[in-house]
Amino acid sequence: MDAVQLIPTPDILQVPWGWFQGLLTVTFFLHLLVMNILLGCSLITFFRHVAGKNTDVNKAIAKKLPITVAFAVNFGVAPLLFVQVIYGHFMYASSVLMAIYWLSIFVILIFSYYSTYIYSMNFDKIVDFHTILTGFIAGTLLAVTFIFTTNFSLMTNIAAWPEYFNNPEGTLLNLSDPSFYPRFLHSVFGAVAVGGMAIALFYDFKKRKGENGADDGIAIGMNWFAGATMLNFGIGSWYWGSLPEYVRELGGAGSAFFLIFIFLGIVAAIFSLIYGMRHEVRPAVYYLLAALFCMVLVREFARRLTLAPWFKTSDLEVVAQYSPLIVFLVVFAGGLGVIYYMIRLVLTDKGARS
């Protein structure tokens, strides 16, 4: 069975693919950021509970977890939408192959999400259950990570697709792909790193407001960040090595960008690490954001290079209809304006019911 003939025919675009790629990149970056904070902080608070360390760091995480889930999910919707426009013909196929796992995500997330509310709203009352509860939260989020990693690696692993004929019941995974485990671990350790940085940033704000004990919080956050990042250099190399040779070698379309952004991302991560270990939070954050953004671009180029033998986004047919895009951009700008207005409204409010 020649797997290439299984690749579905894509549908027509309304505007050139670059628009969708751009929107995908930006919204995925935002999702990655929030999702990393969510997963990372869940893992950090769990390990802290396991180690018997229960301080205001845990409580601060607990209070923020539900809202982080809300935004992680919301920011996940947009890139999932845009990736389906330009890569849907790969993604729908891989989704069907692993259908049961893919569909279980929303069930897992419902349990996970409600658990964060239990953790948040009853933090002081359920001291005895902190470890189990956060273990459950972290575990369910890791399961979701696993499933997402499976789908997005399977969607480009065409060679695995014919396995469908042995099992069309939606229970295929992508464990035989050499890049699967390093990809998964890279995501998890990256999340822990970002989670640690988020904790550090949170306490940096407190420090600037003059609150006591903020330095401890910064230290805790930065320790996690640094440890995870150092390990991630190793995992990243493993990941790099596990990619198909034709993706790694120079010469493919976009391969130069691929290598450049890997290089820039690593450099930014190193700078972030250095500032982080020195507890200089703001520069560490900026470099981390830069590193993340580079890695988002690396991800996009890796996908392009992997699929290049069979598909290029420039192959996608366009029958132009710009008005929906324009209306979206207007609504988006308006929406951001309304959000800005609401936040300002609350921040400038004189307080309490009048």
Which region among 47-55, 229-237, 265-273, 329-337 touches other proteins (by CB under 8 A)? 329-337
Residues within window 43-82 making contact with other proteins, judged by CB under 8 A: 67, 70-71, 73-74, 77-78, 80-82
Burial 139-169 (b: 16+ CB within 10 A, else e): bbbbbbbbbbbbbbbbbbbbebbebbeeeee
Distance CA 93, CA 81 (A): 16
Residue 133 found at the interface with other proteins (CB under 8 A): no
Binds other proteins by CB under 8 A, chosen from 103, 126, 175, 256: 103
Distance CA 194, CA 34 (A): 9
Residue 315 found at the interface with other proteins (CB under 8 A): no
Which C-beta is closer to other proteins: that of 253 or that of 338?
Answer: 338
Residues within window 163-192 making contact with other proteins, judged by CB under 8 A: 164-165, 168-170
Q: Least distance from C-beta 154 to other proteins, angstroms?
A: 12
Which C-beta is closer to other proteins: that of 142 or that of 298?
Answer: 142
Which C-beta is closer to other proteins: that of 76 or that of 196?
Answer: 76
Q: Which residues make Cβ contacts (< 8 Å) with residue 125, sequence separation at least 6?
A: none
Write phi, then psi, for 318 (nearest 5 degrees). -120, 125
Residues within window 192-231 making contact with other proteins, judged by CB under 8 A: none
Binds other proteins by CB under 8 A, chosen from 45, 58, 95, 131: 95
Residue 314 found at the interface with other proteins (CB under 8 A): no
Distance CA 46, CA 138 (A): 7
Distance CA 7, CA 338 (A): 42
DSSP state letters, 188-219: HHHHHHHHHHHHHHHHHHHHHTT-TTHHHHHH
Structure tokens at 190: 């990256």
Q: How far is CA 174 from CA 3, 71, 100, 152, 183, in A?
A: 15, 28, 14, 10, 12
Q: Least distance from C-beta 69 to other proteins, angstroms?
A: 8
Residue 3 found at the interface with other proteins (CB under 8 A): no
Q: Least distance from C-beta 123 to other proteins, angstroms?
A: 16
Distance CA 35, CA 69 (A): 8
Residue 22 found at the interface with other proteins (CB under 8 A): no
Which region among 44-52, 200-208, 265-273, 322-330 touches other proteins (by CB under 8 A)? 322-330
Which C-beta is closer to other proteins: that of 126 or that of 338?
Answer: 338
Structure tokens at 348: 């400038």
H-type alpha helices, the chain: 17-50, 56-97, 99-121, 130-154, 180-208, 214-242, 245-248, 255-277, 281-307, 323-347
Which C-beta is closer to other proteins: that of 20 or that of 239?
Answer: 20
Contact positions vs other proteins (CB under 8 A): 1, 5-14, 20, 23, 67, 70-71, 73-74, 77-78, 80-82, 84-85, 88-89, 92-93, 95-97, 99, 102-103, 105-106, 109-110, 113-114, 117, 164-165, 168-170, 319, 321, 323-325, 327-328, 331-332, 334-335, 338-339, 342-343, 345-346, 349-354
